[in-house]
């Protein structure tokens, strides 16, 4: 049963306190500290007239959740992903599990567990970030506004949260593939980092000038895919300088599906037929 396998993965992950903290809880704490330091710095550096400017809380929230899938979150979430996907090789525990439960369920349980905690991380990072902005505004006596309408706010929040979460899943998928193919926890961290550095270089080397003509860049380079999917899903044509681009958005969504399939699907294919003579 998949639900039982998920419960088992969660039990093991939450009792592995060091991994759980560094992989999923440290980033929200780090984000909180960074935001507080930034606020204090701004408070001390900005002249009083600028400090007193109104704060658009809707914009603060959207920005906080859009940045929740940033580099630091991705890198630290790789720790959690590596332990989840490579742990049974390291502890030689596949031999205990695979005779009793299907390999597909065991793998899916890991993917679902990672996805669940990645979403919790994104929400915590976003909420703490926004909370600090709100407290800072209160302390500075700023006027707080809510610039977005309810519909646009909900849409943008869902879109940026979803894409931030997908960014972590993308990294988790690469970690799953690396862990399964190499059976190594270190490789499950280092290979995705190397791949992501390469993809960032590719993103800068091949910029998207015209989404319709450059659809293949959006499809193949995850950074472009995330950006175009985020803009499309959030309907950010309402913001100055942005235009709603269906071709880019759909290519972005297809790119996301492609990369998640490559990571998690590839890992599952390898694991399903893997020889476990020695984990």
Binding-site size for other proteins (CB under 8 A) equals 31
Q: Measuring CA to CA, which residue among 1, 157, 4 is closest to residue 68?
A: 157
Interatomic CA distance for residues 145 and 107, integer angstroms: 46
Least distance to other proteins, CB of residue 91, Å: 5
In SS3 terms, 183-194 reads as CCHHHHHHHHHH
Rounded to a whole number of angstroms, the minimum distance from the CB of residue 29 to other proteins is 21
Per-residue mark of binding to other proteins, 64-103 (x: CB under 8 A): -----------------------x---xxxxxxxxxxxx-
Q: Does 183 bind other proteins (CB under 8 A)?
A: no
Residue 74 C-beta: closest distance to other proteins, Å: 25
Tell which residue, 208, 220, 252, 214, has the closest CA to residue 233: 252
> Of 136-155, which residues contact other proteins (CB under 8 A)?
none
Stretch that binds other proteins, among 49-57, 211-219, 256-264, 268-276 (CB under 8 A): 268-276
Contacts of other proteins in 16-75 (CB under 8 A): 16-18
CB atoms within 10 A of CB 213: 10
Which lies closer to other proteins via its Cβ, residue 91 or residue 216? 91
* C-beta closer to other proteins: residue 18 or 209: 18
| Calpha distance 184→200 (Å, rounded) | 24
CB of 19 to other proteins, least distance (A): 9
- Confirm or reject binding of residue 276 to other proteins (CB under 8 A): yes
* Nearer residue to other proteins within complex by CB, 59 or 98: 98
Residue 99 or 141 with smaller CB distance to other proteins:
99
CB-CB contact of 251 with 215 (8 Å): yes
Residue with smaller CB distance to other proteins, 205 or 273:
273
Question: In terms of Cα–Cα distance, which of 97, 13, 80, 8 is closest to 276?
Answer: 97
Cα gap 249→231, rounded to integer Å: 7
Cβ contacts of residue 116 below 8 Å, gap of 6+? 10
Which tokens is 150 given? 């309810």
User: Nearest-5° angle of CA 142, CA 147, CA 148?
Assistant: 145
Minimum separation from the CB atom of position 7 to other proteins (A): 5
Which residues on adjacent β-strands are paired with residue 137? Answer: none
Q: Is 108 in the site for other proteins (CB under 8 A)?
A: no
Residue 9 CB, shortest distance to other proteins, in Å, is 8
Q: CA neighbours within 13 Å on the CB side: how many for 77?
A: 32
The distance from CA 274 to its chain's CA centroid, rounded to whole angstroms, is 28
CB of 73 to other proteins, least distance (A): 24
Q: By CB under 8 A, name the binding residues for other proteins.
A: 1, 4-5, 7-9, 11-12, 15-18, 87, 91-102, 106, 109, 273, 275-277
């Amino acid at each position: 049963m998949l639900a039982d396998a998920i419960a088992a993965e969660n039990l093991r992950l939450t009792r592995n306190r060091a991994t759980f903290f560094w992989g999923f809880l440290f980033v929200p704490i780090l984000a909180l500290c960074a935001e507080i330091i930034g606020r204090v710095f701004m408070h001390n550096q900005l002249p009083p007239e600028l400090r007193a400017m109104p704060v658009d809380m809707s914009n603060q929230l959207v920005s906080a959740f859009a940045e929740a899938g940033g580099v630091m979150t991705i890198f630290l979430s790789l720790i959690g992903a590596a332990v989840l996907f490579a742990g049974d090789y390291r502890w030689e525990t596949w031999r205990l599990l695979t005779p009793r439960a299907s390999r597909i369920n065991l793998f899916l349980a890991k993917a679902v567990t990672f996805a669940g905690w990645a979403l919790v991380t994104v929400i915590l990072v976003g909420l703490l970030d926004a909370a600090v902005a709100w407290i800072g505004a209160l302390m500075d006596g700023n006027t707080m506004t809510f610039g977005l309408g309810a519909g646009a706010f909900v849409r943008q929040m869902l879109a940026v949260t979803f894409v931030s979460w997908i960014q972590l899943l993308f990294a988790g998928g690469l970690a799953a593939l690396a862990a399964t193919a190499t059976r190594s926890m270190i490789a499950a961290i280092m290979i995705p980092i190397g791949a992501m550095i390469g993809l960032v270089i590719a993103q800068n080397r091949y910029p998207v000038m015209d989404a319709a003509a450059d659809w293949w860049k959006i499809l193949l380079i995850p950074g472009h895919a995330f950006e175009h999917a985020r803009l499309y899903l959030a309907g950010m044509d309402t913001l100055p300088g942005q235009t709603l681009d269906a071709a880019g958005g759909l290519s972005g969504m297809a790119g996301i599906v492609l990369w998640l399939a490559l990571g998690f699907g590839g890992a599952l294919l390898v694991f399903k037929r893997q020889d476990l003579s020695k984990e």
